[in-house]
Amino acid sequence: MFSAARTTAVRSARNLPQATSVFASPYSPSALHRLLSTLAVLEQRDGQLNHGSLSAVTAARKLGGSVHAFVAGANINAVANEAAKVDGVEKIIAVDNAAYDKGLPENYAPLLLENIKKGGYTHVVVGHTAFGKSLFPRVAAMLDSQQISDITAIENENTFVRPIYAGNAIATVESTDDIKFITVRGTAFAAAEIGGGSAAVEAGVDPKVESTSDWVSEDLAKSDRPDLATAPKVVSGGRGLKSKEEFDRVMLPLADSLGAAVGASRAAVDSGYADNSLQVGQTGKVVAPQLYMAVGISGAIQHLAGMKDSKVIAAINKDADAPIFQVADVGLVGDLFDKVPELTEKLKSS
Amino acid sequence: MSSLRILVPIKRVIDYAVKPRVNKAQTGVETAGVKHSMNPFDELSIEESVRIREKKSAPVEDICVISAGPPKAQDVLRTAMAMGADRGIHVDVKEGEDLEPLGVAKLLKAVVDKEKSNLVILGKQSIDDDSAQTGPMLAGLLGWAQATQASEVKFEGDSVLVTKEVDGGVETVKAKLPMVITTDLRLNEPRYASLPNIMKAKKKPLVKMSLSDLGVANERRLKVVKVTEPAPRQGGGKVEDVDGLISKLKELGAI
């Protein structure tokens, strides 16, 4: 009886006109429904917390309400204890089981689902990474929720901003789902820092569902340079580099002279000049460093989608009419094979 | 391995080379009179299906393409059939009443059940809403294995090995049918439909359905509050030489 009455109350509350600010409104449907609480799902690899995944915590804190974080994998204690130091996180839900090491969505989705149900969360957040993109829609569909992907801003607990059409339009959408599944763009929400927090670490529920897929192998590009997605400076090469040898000969010293990560356009990746994982653009990584230097890149809209939020954009291209110059804060028209080595030398000596 | 009944969902979107414009009412993007074509990732899905058949890497019984949208969605279905799909299903959805990814996933689940599909190959995302959700959502609703962002698909015994593009490189996973695969750009290079094949495709079966035929409702969960142009970025002009570049970067505080 009680639950029926409660449902009716919630329903009638939902029919009330929406106030402009949900936070200020005493009629906020979710406030009546249950208190705002967010679960931020963190990534780990080989027992190391992926600090980039802490952007989910930043987004969770912006939502308001309580913030819990979720980690799973083999010997998860060290990761959980590190995550517990993040300011603003009340609790870490940790599941210690090697079956979740590789983040296979077939068993990770039911795992997450059980922990969401147990915690009664209103919002679940993860980075818009390969892991988040593969896992979250699966869980969202299992809980009959329409996910909101790759958000760049939070207007209130129901309303989110996300780029569409390769960033050529910005949509503000309001969700009516009870549980909101959100993936966040890392460049729009800086990773929360490991601070002096002391969240409680609690063992989560483990439904131990067998995965219907098996992890076989991986081949990760090794690099001593800063990580592309989070580097403060990025130098990126395009088709103008002509070959892999030239790409390495021209771009790598430039990157080292600036302490920058190396990126590439799709044309450069497709031509085999650079590894797939370095691709910047709509179909590759989205970056927003302090400095983005585009070398031999014309600036197709798919590429701009991945870098146009950079603070300063510099371009070196021999075609003075290349579209990249329309967005570059500083452009240099010239042959990159002359200009880049000269630039590298002058940066080194300065 | 049991023979494959492949379902390939495809979407008609604004052509990738067109720069979309936000409409005056700020409710969406101007679509009238704008060139549309098949979502580029969906071309890869069809190509891969046809290649599985051609290379005989696994026995293929049927390649069925499906699109939900206004009548013009039939154009992309015909293109897919000209590329080698056997037949098409057009689910009529009025312009402006587009399904959200969850709705599409529910629709596809109904079609999978009806058509007894055992492999669904989708694009990793559509280039209009950039959601990247439908594939994993469908796999979740069906309880099937999934492999997203595939750059290679191989058949080995009764298993499918899929190399996926992940953040730092690639990862290979293995699963048994039935499964859902989403395609990434490096999976293959889609063929062009030849004129004779375009003519032949006109005779291939194309079935029309409505959402209610499939027992699915278009229940929207997201309300679009507004759609705006991104803040314009002004180029800062050009410099003469490398020294000019360095001093400008210093002035901007970038180095």
On chain B, the residues whose CB falls within 8 A of the CB of A175 are 221-222
* C-alpha distance across the termini of chain A, in Å: 77
A48 contacts chain B (CB < 8 A): no
- pLDDT given at position A292: 98
Note whether A252 contacts B: Cβ–Cβ < 8 A.
no
The predicted structure's pLDDT at residue A16: 44
Is A68 annotated to bind ligand? Answer: no
Q: At what angle do helices B101-115 and B134-142 cross, to 10 degrees?
A: 50
Q: Which residues in chain B are closer than 8 Å to A290, comparing Cβ atoms?
A: 254
- Read off the pLDDT of each residue in B217-245 and give the average, rounded to a whole number: 93
| Separation of alpha carbons B224 and B37, rounded Å | 24
pLDDT digits (tens, 9 = 90+) for B159-209: 999 999 998 889 999 999 999 999 999 999 999 999 999 999 999 999 999
* Residue A272 DSSP SS3: coil
Question: 306-345 in A: which are within 8 Å (CB) of B?
Answer: 308, 311-314, 316, 320, 325-334, 339, 342-343
Residue B56: how many other CB atoms lie within 10 Å: 9
Got the DSSP string for A3-51?
HHHHHHHHHHHHTSPPPS-TTT-TT-HHHHH---EEEEEP-EETTEE-G
Give, in order, the Cα–Cα distances in Å from A239 to each of A191, A247, A268, A269, B204: 32, 9, 5, 9, 41
**Confidence label for B233 from pLDDT (cuts 50, 70 and 90):** confident
Q: What is the ipTM of this complex?
A: 0.96
CA distances from A32 to A6, A8, A13, A25, A36 (A): 9, 12, 8, 11, 10
Show which of residues 32-51 on chain B sit within 8 Å of chain A, judged by CB atoms: none
Chain B environment of A150 (Cβ under 8 Å): 130, 132
pLDDT at A6: 46
Q: How far is A200 from chain B (nearest CA, A)?
A: 30
The answer to whether A225 faces chain B, any CB pair under 8 Å, is no
Alpha helical stretches, state H, chain A: 2-14, 29-33, 55-63, 77-83, 105-119, 130-142, 244-258, 266-270, 301-304, 324-327, 336-349
Q: Note the pLDDT of residue A229.
A: 86
> Among all residues of chain B, which has the CA nearest to that of A270?
B186
Per-residue pLDDT of chain A (350 residues; tens, 9 = 90+): 444 444 444 444 444 444 444 444 444 444 445 689 999 999 999 999 999 999 999 999 999 999 999 999 999 999 999 999 999 999 999 999 999 999 999 999 999 999 999 999 999 999 999 999 999 999 999 999 999 999 999 999 999 999 999 999 999 999 999 999 999 999 999 999 999 999 999 999 999 999 999 999 999 888 889 989 889 999 999 999 999 999 999 999 999 999 999 999 999 999 999 998 899 998 889 999 999 999 999 999 999 999 999 999 999 999 999 999 999 999 999 999 999 999 999 999 97
Count other C-beta atoms under 10 Å from residue B104's C-beta.
26
A290: Cβ contacts below 8 Å, ≥ 6 apart: A232, A233, A310, A311, A312, B254
Least confident of A14-18, B42-46, B68-72: A14-18
Structural Rg of chain B based on CA atoms:
21
pLDDT of res. B120: 98
Q: Which residues does chain B have within 8 Å of residue A327's beta carbon, measured at their own beta carbons?
A: 233, 235
**For the whole model, what pTM was predicted?**
0.91
B110 touches chain A (CB under 8 A): no
Going by C-alpha positions, the residue among B71, B78, B37, B38 that lies closest to residue B195 is: B78
* Residues of chain B found within 8 Å of residue A164, distances taken between Cβ atoms: 29, 128-130, 227
A215 touches chain B (CB under 8 A): yes
- The reply to whether A51 sits in an annotated binding site is no
Give which of B112, B138, B167 to mutate to test A binding, by max A Cβ within 10 Å: B167
pLDDT digits (tens, 9 = 90+) for A276-310: 889 999 888 999 999 999 999 999 999 999 999 99
What one-character DSSP code corresponds to residue A241?
Answer: G
Q: Poorest-confidence range of A101-110, B59-68, B224-233?
A: B224-233
Nearest to A92 by CA among A79, A101, A105: A79
- Cis before residue B178, ω within 30 degrees of 0? yes
What is the rounded distance in angstroms from the CA atom of residue A165 to the CA atom of residue B129? 6
The pLDDT of residue A5:
44
Q: Does B70 touch chain A (CB under 8 A)?
A: no
Contacts of A201 (CB under 8 A, 6+ apart): A77, A80, A81, A84, A91, A92, A94
A31, A160, A316, B27, B130 from A175: Cα distances, Å: 15, 8, 43, 16, 17
